Structure 1
Amino acid sequence: MTVPTYTERRPAPPAGRPGLAAQLLRRKPIGQMVNEAETGHGGTRLVRSFGVFQLTMISVGATLGTGILVILGESVPLAGPAIWISFAIAGLAALLSAVSYAEMAGLVPVAGSSYSYSYATLGEGMAWICGWCLVLEYAVSVAAVSVGAGQYVNESLAVFGQFLPDAISQPPGDGGVVNIPAMVIVLLAMVLLVRGAKESAWINTVIVVVKVGILIFFCAVAFTAFSAGNFEPLLPMGAAGVSAAASSVFFSYIGFDAASTAGEEARNPKRDLPRAIMLSMLIVTTIYVLVAVAAVGARPWGWFDGNEAALVKILEETTGQPWIALVFAVGAVLAIASIVLTVLYGQTRILLSMARDGLIPKIFGRVSARTGTPVAGTLIVGILVAVTAGLVPLGALADATSIGTLFAFALVNVAVIYLRRTRPELKRTFRVPLFPLTPILGALMCAYLMANLGADTWVTFGIWMLVGLAAYFGYGRRNSRVAALSHEEYCELSRPESSTLSTPEQTKAELS
């Protein structure tokens, strides 16, 4: 007797469904996820075209952004000359979760990132919460980052004595009516993603190389004014100041998980995804530490207090050339473009996985046979994010993305522990070192950083979760494909042997 996979079944009538508690705990077999990635849902699958280089550039593009251009003015006064130690500590904290992502990406090489990892280990309930957090993280962070485009476009135009009126270049609440540059940058990214993932990846690679080059250029110029005396005393604010600054700059590392959303478009995901995640962390941490050392070496740490555009001012004062502002303004626009492109890409792939599971409308899971991309889902997400960026004051909602991100990170650490305990026989292309200490510390670090976020942020996050619960009970619970399986079919698909399958042929043989 052949047991049908749940992607071939229509949702069963409500009477045939498991109870709420049982449904929330139902896990999606890893083998079934891999099977879907190979065959696609509905007969069309994503195109595998990424190597380790493109995957690394996706993560670097989503991580290395405008934050480093302005964050020193806020963080150096907290730590003093030891700010470079704060960046190293924050990088280490992010690495605790990054290694867990690397292990899970090798085990579950699909498009859903931490949503899929949670579904395979913690069940549908936690997977939905994780997916809903990712919707907030990706969509709102794209809008929040793109809002700054108008300011940097004006800084570029100012070199030529031109500027855009505030009404069309600033967000509502800051003197603007509609932020045209923000909307344009999102819509351009949307068009690129619709055309094809391979083309978008190469454009992102070019942009990433340019913005890395700009930061290296800053280091080269700043080191010409380097003074070792600027590092004495190294810890004027003590160890507590270094820790406070590390918490502040930690969010500069958010985005390294972007490569994990490309699991179904990587040519060799089990090998390349872990490598890309770890390599991107190495690149970003090295650049951040170098920029911090170069900046403090060029100016005493007290000089940074109140200097939001510290890097630009250091270059202007060191070179005596005002056009240097143009270089960094263009670099900031490119940084925004790269983040928008890669994060919008990740958003559409996570929604594709959720739609494939029946938890959100199936239109987000449709893949074009011509382009090999989720065209409809990309258009819907792109337009909604563009409108948000252009018309909606983001405020505390943007801050709430931090909670969503950290919550997803914590779940991935838990997922690693769960699979190590329950499925030790699974072949892992990357293994978290110092298990179980590393994932435990990673989860605790995420919880600590979440606890230090403001009350307003928690209130916004709570409201978002209530909306998510309404969406789940209104749509996801009734349309879940895992819930559509009978108890016997679910048990059959959940057998350990089924969870190690990697091809459709093996799946059919095992289920027969």
Structure 2
Amino acid sequence: MPDATPAKLSLTSLTVFGLAYMCPSLAMVIFGVISERSDGIAPSAFLLATGAMLLSALSYAKLSRLFPVSGSAYYYAKRLLGPGCGFVVGWGVLLAYLFMPMVAWLLQSVFLNAQFPQVPTWGWLLINIGLTTAVTVSGMALTDRLNKVLTVLSVALVLLFLGYCLRYLAGQPQVGFTHAVWNEHSTLTGLTAAAAIAAYSFLGFDAVTTLAEEAEQPKRDIPRAVLLVISLGGLLFTAVAYLMQLSHPGGQFADPETATYALSIEVGGQFFADFVNLGGIVAGFASCLAVQVSASRLLYFMGREGVLPPRYFAKLQGRARTPVFNLLLIAGLGLIGIGADVSSAASLINFGAFLAFAAVNVCVIAYYRRERRRQRLSGVGFVVFPLLAIGVNLYLLSLLSTVVILAGVAWLVCGGLYLMWLTAGFSKPTPGLMEVES
């Protein structure tokens, strides 16, 4: 039965939502790739990535306190950079948020197929989309409760895996505890390259800001949740990578993509390895819930602004007041995953995400320029850190393939054409942006 009233989210709920979006077991999934690229210092790569992403998280925290609305990067840009930039940023963010649910569902289906091959991947995709959509349409209260249970369970399974790693290490010869942080094969080039890949693990921390209007105390809790998600996620990722790296010194693997499964067998046996894989599936379902909810909220906000047709996108339905049309639309787009290339779709998400991160940091600098004479603002916090974050995000963008960058630019061009049509050849104000200076 749908919820009687829309739920209001506490700091705990917001933080769990962000952690679920990032997926607590993700460090285990990509450990082999990070370890190989860094020559056996995966925890250092995750730690560096945490610091790099924390710079952008600080900017999101600042702006979410100033503008506690659900539009996130789109709204910040429209208020501080002007109508044109606001639309471009919103359109770029839309690319990431529309593809993210599809990729999450597809990855979840691949893991389920590996565990239960009797059902084909496309069958699991239909099941995943159907289950998560049924939950999210029912309302935020049910979604929040289920998300908490699944995320706590997935974190517990990660901690159990770490416990097995510790038991395994206790029975091994003397371990060099600093060898997993830096060793004779380590290079700064390898570390930064691995950190760039690890940074993708943090995509989604910004999704917390899309729930500003459903938070109990948005000005207080949204900024705290953003920083908690990055800090707790980074701590967990680094700890997982450290114990896994101690259990398997060096960066050589028979297959880096299945290194975690092989390591699970080594430290706990076949049954335990299958159990760990199941834990990844549990975490994946929580992540699917989070990404669908956040994407639907961004579409709702853009619909309310008139940038997308409000008749459909800005409509809340049922006693739980959920954007049912948006949720069903995202579910429909998820079906593209049946024939999609996960790698290409994930790269398009990265294009939209890092573009948004860079824009948010520009917004912080713009706010500093506008308000520095009226408020006492720190030049370090409002200029230096954002500039460093912009550099990080532009570097990450530059690592994407030429094809992906061209596809991202093509998406932005399509947005420009849509804006031209929306404003009758730029003869009318952009919808939702007339009040920018208010």
Q: Do they fold alike, i.e. is TM over 0.5?
A: yes
Unaligned runs of 5+ in 1: 1-45, 158-162, 170-178, 500-512
Match of 1:54 in 2: 13
| One-letter amino acid matched to 2:93 | L
TM-score, normalised via structure 1 length: 0.77
Deviation of 1:76 (Å): 0.8
Following the alignment from structure 1 to structure 2, what is the Cα–Cα distance between the partners of residues 150 and 483?
A: 40
| One-letter amino acid matched to 2:393 | C
> Which of 408, 419, 436 matches 1:472?
419
Match of 1:155 in 2: 114
Following the alignment from structure 1 to structure 2, what is the Cα–Cα distance between the partners of residues 112 and 485?
A: 11
After superposition, residues 431-510 of structure 1 pair within 5 angstroms as 434-475=381-422, 483=430, 499=438
The question of 1:276 aligning with 2:192 is answered: no
Match of 1:382 in 2: 331
Relative to 1, partners in 2 of residues 1:426 and 1:254: Cα closer, same or farther, differing over 3 Å?
farther
Relative to 1, partners in 2 of residues 1:96 and 1:149: Cα closer, same or farther, differing over 3 Å?
same
Deviation of 1:121 (Å): 0.9
Relative to 1, partners in 2 of residues 1:341 and 1:484: Cα closer, same or farther, differing over 3 Å?
closer
SS at structure 2 position matched to 1:164: coil
Relative to 1, partners in 2 of residues 1:74 and 1:191: Cα closer, same or farther, differing over 3 Å?
same
The question of 1:259 aligning with 2:208 is answered: yes
Unaligned runs of 5+ in 2: none
Deviation of 1:292 (Å): 0.9
SS at structure 2 position matched to 1:415: helix
The question of 1:329 aligning with 2:277 is answered: yes
1:463-506 deviations in whole A, cap 9, x for unaligned? 222222232223366899954799xxx6xx566xxx5xxxxxxx
Match of 1:318 in 2: 267
> Which of 144, 147, 167 matches 1:204?
147
> Which of 182, 187, 190 matches 2:133?
190
How many percent identity over aligned positions? 25
Deviation of 1:381 (Å): 2.2
Relative to 1, partners in 2 of residues 1:235 and 1:241: Cα closer, same or farther, differing over 3 Å?
farther
- 8 Å contact kept, 1:47–1:264: no
Deviation of 1:444 (Å): 1.3
| One-letter amino acid matched to 1:280 | V
Match of 2:290 in 1: 342
SS at structure 2 position matched to 1:301: coil
Match of 2:300 in 1: 352
The question of 1:291 aligning with 2:240 is answered: yes
> Which of 112, 118, 125 matches 1:164?
118
Match of 1:91 in 2: 50
Following the alignment from structure 2 to structure 1, what is the Cα–Cα distance between the partners of residues 110 and 103?
A: 13
Deviation of 1:298 (Å): 0.9
Relative to 1, partners in 2 of residues 1:93 and 1:477: Cα closer, same or farther, differing over 3 Å?
farther
Deviation of 1:234 (Å): 1.9
Following the alignment from structure 2 to structure 1, what is the Cα–Cα distance between the partners of residues 44 and 372?
A: 37
| One-letter amino acid matched to 2:159 | I
Deviation of 1:266 (Å): 0.4
- 8 Å contact kept, 1:360–1:475: no
Relative to 1, partners in 2 of residues 1:332 and 1:425: Cα closer, same or farther, differing over 3 Å?
farther
Match of 2:102 in 1: 143
- 8 Å contact kept, 2:264–2:272: yes
Match of 1:29 in 2: none
Following the alignment from structure 1 to structure 2, what is the Cα–Cα distance between the partners of residues 485 and 398?
A: 30
> Which of 348, 356, 364 matches 1:400?
348
- 8 Å contact kept, 2:24–2:233: no
Question: Higher mean Cα deviation, 290-299 or 388-397?
Answer: 388-397
- 8 Å contact kept, 1:103–1:432: no
Following the alignment from structure 2 to structure 1, what is the Cα–Cα distance between the partners of residues 137 and 423?
A: 26
> Which of 400, 417, 429 matches 2:365?
417
1:158-181 deviations in whole A, cap 9, x for unaligned? xxxxx325xx32xxxxxxxxx121
| One-letter amino acid matched to 1:456 | V
1:197-239 deviations in whole A, cap 9, x for unaligned? 1211121111111111111111111122335237546251322
Deviation of 1:258 (Å): 1.1
| One-letter amino acid matched to 1:461 | G
Deviation of 1:105 (Å): 0.8
Relative to 1, partners in 2 of residues 1:425 and 1:221: Cα closer, same or farther, differing over 3 Å?
farther
Paired positions, count:
427
Deviation of 1:110 (Å): 0.8
**Alignment RMSD (CA, Å):** 2.7
Following the alignment from structure 1 to structure 2, what is the Cα–Cα distance between the partners of residues 94 and 433?
A: 17
Relative to 1, partners in 2 of residues 1:224 and 1:477: Cα closer, same or farther, differing over 3 Å?
farther
Relative to 1, partners in 2 of residues 1:302 and 1:446: Cα closer, same or farther, differing over 3 Å?
closer
The question of 1:372 aligning with 2:302 is answered: no
